[in-house]
Amino acid sequence: LAIMMGGRVAEELKFGDDNVTAGASSDIQQATRLARAMVTRFGFADSIGPVDYGSDQGDVFLGQQLVQSSHVSEETSRTIEEEVRKLIQTGMDDARRIMTEARADWEKIATGLLEYETLTGEEITDLLNGKPPTRPDLSDDDMAPGSAVPVIGKRRKPKGDAGEAA
């Protein structure tokens, strides 16, 4: 759960609570789904015990799912939701602690990714040790971002190439 909340926490730490992107909502959704399974299927909540409250109905909102189910009381449903909330909050608190302690490292990696787009494991290690990645000199064609759209026809030669006829 802490891993799932790491991206959201990094955004909060870097840009502030009011500037978290929509991508963070996906983190919350995934963490909620996992926490709900931990409580209702895997027995991770002592207050619920090792009882499978999961349903074969798919990913229906838990409150709705349990109210329709005759074998789960309203009180149990509330307890399940509280346990889910506690697990998610614990994951978020753990992520906040870890991301705060390692802030300098993840900011170096983020800066490297913004500059180079991809990094190898060795380049990440170098970045963390204060050494920027060294990449071989690339031509201007190699430096341009790739396109998902295939190129049709001939590519134009850059103007001013020495040694070539116009």
Nearest Cα neighbor of 46 from 73, 86, 92, 74 is 86
Return the pLDDT at 85.
96
DSSP-derived letter for residue 18 is G
Residue type, 112: G
Rounded Cα–Cα distance for residues 110 and 99 (Å): 13
Reading the block at residue 39, the tokens are 């409580």
Phi and psi for 57 in degrees, rounded to 5? -85, 0
Could you tell me which of 72, 97, 88, 92 has the C-alpha nearest to residue 34? 88
What are the pLDDT tens digits along the chain (166 aa)? Answer: 999 999 999 999 999 988 888 887 888 999 999 999 999 999 899 898 888 887 644 444 555 544 454 577 889 899 999 999 999 999 999 999 999 999 999 999 999 999 989 999 999 999 999 998 887 765 555 555 555 555 554 444 555 555 555 4
